[in-house]
C-alpha cells in the first residue's frame, strides 16, 4: 500500500499550498507518513516547520516519527523550537496543545498610534488575518482586547487602555479542546486568547482550528457508534482494524449467546413456537431502532454542549413518550397482521402487547444509557453502538417470550 506513494506530488503540494498540504499530510496513515518522512528527510521538514504557524507546525511534529521530530526541533532557531516544545508539552486534547503562539499583544499603557505602528511591522501575509489585538500588563497578564477596526476611530495619542473591552472571554491551557470549540461556537468569535495558570497570555486559538476539533469529535463518535475506533480511519494495517473491532464484536457474541439461552428457556412453553419465531426479527429490529434512535439524540446533545441535567431530563421524557406512542402503534399493527395471517386472536394479542412493551423499554434504555455514562465520566458515544443494541436485544427477547407465553397459556 505504501509503495505507491507519489513523493513528487507531496513536494509540489507543500510548495504551492503549505497549510492545506500539512493538514492533509497529518490525515495519512502512520505507515504512509513514515515513508514520506524518510524520503524527504529532516532538513526538508525543518523548512516546512519554519514556514507554518506554530499550531500547524506542532500538529505536524506530533504526526511525524518521534526521532525525526526531535531532529527537526534541534535544527530550528531556539525561540521557534521553544514555542513548539511548549505547545507539545501540553496534554493532548487540551487548549494548550491546540494554541498558536502567534498572538498579537500590546502593553496596557500603549497609545493607539503605537498599536498601529506595531501592526505595520507584521509580514504582508499576516496582515489580512488580524482581527483582535490583546492588551497585557507588564507581567503579560491579559487585561482586555481591542479590534483592529477600533484603531481608525480614535486619535493616535489616545491610550489603548481607554478603549479596550474587558473582561475577555478566554480559555486556560488545561481546558478541553471540545469546550474551547463550544465556547467559540457560542460567542461567534474568530479566536480566543489562551492564558496559563497565572493568567498570562500564552497563545491564541482560531475559529478554524476549533472547527477541526468538531470534525474530529464527530469522527470519534461515529467510530464508537459503529463499534470501532478512530485509528481505523488512519491505518492501512489489517491487524489494527481487526483488533479495534473485535472488542465490540465480542459484545455481540456474548449478547447473542445470552439471547439463545433466553430463547431456550421458553421452548417448552409454545405449541406454536415456530409461529412466534417468525416475528423475532421484526420485534428485535423495531426494538433496536427505538433504542439507537434515543441514544443518538442524547449523544448529539451532549456533543453540542447541552449537558445540564434539566435539559437531558426533558429529552429523556420526550423520548420515553415517543417510545410509548411508537410502541403501541407498532405493536397494534404487527399484532393485527399476525391475527389476519394466522387467524389466532391470542397470537395477535401476544405479539402486539409484547412488542409494545419491548419497544417502550428500549426507547427508555437508549437515552438513559449515555446519560449514565456521562454521569460516571465515560464517553457517552460508547453507549449508542453495540452496547445499547446488546442490552435492547436481551430485554426484548425476555419480554417478548415472557409476555407471549403468559398470554398464550391464558
Give the start-end residues of each E strand in 72-141: 105-107, 132-136
The answer to whether the CB of 135 falls within 8 A of the CB of 150 is no
Domain annotation covers residue 299? yes
| Residue 48 Cα distances to 79, 167, 174, angstroms | 16, 37, 28
Which secondary structure element, helix H or strand E, spans residue 245, and what is its range?
helix 238-265
Of 59, 89, 119, which closes a domain? 89
Non-local (6+) Cβ contacts of 393 within 8 A are: 255, 256, 259, 284, 287, 288
DSSP codes joined into one string, 309-345:
HHHHHHHHHHHHHHHHHHHHHHHHHHHHHHHHHH--H
In this structure, the answer to whether residues 56 and 116 fall within a common structural domain is: no
Domain annotation covers residue 324? yes
Instruction: Return the bridge partners of 106, or none.
Output: 135
Higher pLDDT, 234 or 118: 118
d(CA 25, CA 52): 13
In this structure, the answer to whether residues 262 and 191 fall within a common structural domain is: no
Taking 90 as the threshold, does the pLDDT of residue 30 lie above it? no
In this structure, the answer to whether residues 310 and 368 fall within a common structural domain is: yes
Number of domains in the chain: 3
Mean pLDDT of 109-124: 85
Taking 90 as the threshold, does the pLDDT of residue 201 lie above it? yes
d(CA 382, CA 374): 10
DSSP codes joined into one string, 379-407:
-GGGGGTHHHHHHHHHHHHHHHHHHHHHH
Per-residue model confidence (pLDDT) at position 156 = 87
Domain annotation covers residue 215? no
Q: DSSP code of 103?
A: -
In this structure, the answer to whether residues 245 and 392 fall within a common structural domain is: yes
Domain annotation covers residue 287? yes
Domain annotation covers residue 368? yes
d(CA 45, CA 64): 10
CATH number, domain of 269, equals 1.10.357.20
Percent of the chain whose pLDDT exceeds 70 = 80
Tell me if the pTM is above 0.85: no
pLDDT in tens, 262-298: 766 766 655 555 667 777 888 888 888 888 878 877 7
In this structure, the answer to whether residues 328 and 185 fall within a common structural domain is: no
Omega within 30 of 0 (cis) for the link into 167: yes
Domain annotation covers residue 152? yes
pLDDT in tens, 159-183: 988 888 888 889 999 998 888 888 8
In this structure, the answer to whether residues 122 and 173 fall within a common structural domain is: yes
- Give the residue numbers spanning the domain of 111: 105-206
In this structure, the answer to whether residues 38 and 124 fall within a common structural domain is: no
In this structure, the answer to whether residues 163 and 294 fall within a common structural domain is: no
Among 36-50, 143-157, 285-299, 315-329, the range of highest mean pLDDT: 36-50
Per-residue model confidence (pLDDT) at position 206 = 87
Per-residue model confidence (pLDDT) at position 72 = 93
In this structure, the answer to whether residues 379 and 287 fall within a common structural domain is: yes
Taking 60 as the threshold, does the pLDDT of residue 127 lie above it? no
d(CA 269, CA 190): 67
Of 50, 65, 89, which closes a domain? 89
C-alpha cell at 162: 481607554
Domain annotation covers residue 354? yes
Taking 80 as the threshold, does the pLDDT of residue 99 lie above it? yes
Taking 50 as the threshold, does the pLDDT of residue 1 lie above it? no
35 burial (CB, 10 Å; 0-12 / 13-18 / 19+) is middle
Taking 70 as the threshold, does the pLDDT of residue 241 lie above it? no
Domain annotation covers residue 218? no
CATH number, domain of 174, equals 3.10.580.10
Per-residue model confidence (pLDDT) at position 67 = 92
Amino acid at each position: 500500500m505504501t509503495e505507491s506513494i507519489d513523493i513528487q506530488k507531496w513536494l509540489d503540494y507543500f510548495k504551492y499550498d503549505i497549510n492545506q498540504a500539512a493538514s492533509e499530510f497529518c490525515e495519512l496513515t502512520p505507515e504512509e507518513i513514515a515513508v514520506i518522512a524518510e524520503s524527504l528527510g529532516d532538513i526538508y521538514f525543518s523548512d516546512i516547520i519554519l514556514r507554518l504557524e506554530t499550531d500547524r507546525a506542532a500538529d505536524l511534529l506530533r504526526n511525524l516519527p518521534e526521532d525525526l521530530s526531535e531532529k527537526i526541533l534541534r535544527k530550528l532557531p531556539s525561540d521557534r523550537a521553544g514555542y513548539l516544545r511548549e505547545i507539545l508539552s501540553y496534554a493532548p486534547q487540551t487548549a494548550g496543545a491546540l494554541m498558536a503562539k502567534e498572538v498579537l499583544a500590546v502593553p496596557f499603557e500603549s497609545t493607539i498610534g503605537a498599536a498601529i505602528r506595531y501592526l505595520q511591522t507584521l509580514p504582508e501575509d499576516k496582515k489580512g488575518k488580524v482581527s483582535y489585538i490583546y492588551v497585557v500588563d507588564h507581567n503579560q497578564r491579559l487585561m482586555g482586547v481591542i479590534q483592529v477596526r477600533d484603531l481608525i476611530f480614535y486619535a493616535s495619542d489616545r491610550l489603548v487602555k481607554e478603549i479596550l473591552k474587558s473582561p475577555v472571554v478566554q480559555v486556560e491551557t488545561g481546558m478541553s479542546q471540545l469546550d474551547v470549540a463550544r465556547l467559540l461556537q457560542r460567542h461567534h468569535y474568530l479566536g480566543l486568547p489562551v492564558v496559563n495558570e497565572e493568567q498570562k497570555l500564552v497563545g491564541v486559538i482560531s475559529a478554524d482550528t476549533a472547527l477541526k476539533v468538531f470534525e474530529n469529535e464527530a469522527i470519534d463518535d461515529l467510530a464508537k457508534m459503529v463499534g470501532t475506533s478512530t485509528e481505523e480511519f488512519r491505518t492501512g494495517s489489517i491487524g489494527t482494524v481487526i483488533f479495534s473491532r473485535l472488542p465490540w464484536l465480542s459484545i455481540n457474541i456474548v449478547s447473542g449467546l445470552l439471547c439463545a439461552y433466553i430463547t431456550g428457556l421458553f421452548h417448552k412453553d409454545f405449541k406454536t413456537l415456530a409461529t412466534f419465531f417468525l416475528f423475532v426479527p421484526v420485534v428485535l429490529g423495531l426494538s433496536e431502532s427505538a433504542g439507537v434512535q434515543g441514544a443518538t439524540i442524547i449523544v448529539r446533545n451532549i456533543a453540542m454542549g447541552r449537558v445540564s441535567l434539566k435539559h437531558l431530563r426533558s429529552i429523556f421524557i420526550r423520548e420515553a413518550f415517543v417510545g410509548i406512542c411508537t410502541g403501541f402503534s407498532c405493536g397494534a399493527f404487527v399484532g393485527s397482521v399476525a391475527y389476519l395471517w394466522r387467524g389466532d386472536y391470542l397470537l395477535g394479542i401476544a405479539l402486539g402487547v409484547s412488542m409494545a412493551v419491548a419497544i417502550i423499554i428500549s426507547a427508555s434504555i437508549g437515552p438513559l444509557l449515555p446519560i449514565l455514562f456521562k454521569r460516571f465520566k465515560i464517553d457517552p458515544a460508547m453507549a449508542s453502538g453495540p452496547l445499547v443494541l446488546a442490552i435492547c436485544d436481551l430485554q426484548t427477547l425476555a419480554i417478548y417470550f415472557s409476555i407471549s407465553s403468559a398470554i398464550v397459556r391464558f
